[in-house]
Amino acid sequence: MSDVDGSGNGGSANEDIPTVMSTDDFELCRAIRSGKQNAAASPSYEVLDVDSPIRGLLNNWEELYVQFRDENGKLMPVQVSQTSLLDEEEEEQARRAPPPPQPTTHVGKGKRKAPPE
């Protein structure tokens, strides 16, 4: 696998990723969120069974995480950073832009009662 800067060090983007020599250096896992946790709370992670196919373990579009092992073989905490799907400029404009005006509905249109005689 080649890296961006060609130095063999993984480049600046990969400095935080541990070196992997074999499949024993990491585990695949998925996030487990309880119903009581809010979105800001960090989830716990469940290590997937290595003997089972991934197709049977994950739902459609469920995220898969890599949990690395340290020098002692213990699992390290999962570190996740969510990137924005928008450009930085678009995201800033979306934060500053006022919400679009709600369409006004005319009250009283539609079926009407006949006026009293």
pLDDT per residue as tens digits for the range 11-20: 445 677 888 8
Q: How distant, in Å, are the alpha carbons of 91, 94, 115 from that of 99? A: 14, 9, 41
Whether residue 9 is predicted with pLDDT greater than 50 in this model: the reply is: no
Are 87 and 93 contacting, i.e. CB atoms less than 8 angstroms apart? Answer: no
Our CA angle for 41, 46, 52, nearest 5°, is 150
- pLDDT, averaged across the chain: 75
Among all chains, which residue has been given the structure tokens 């991934």?
54
Tens of pLDDT, residues 92-104: 777 776 766 766 6
What is this structure's pTM? Answer: 0.52
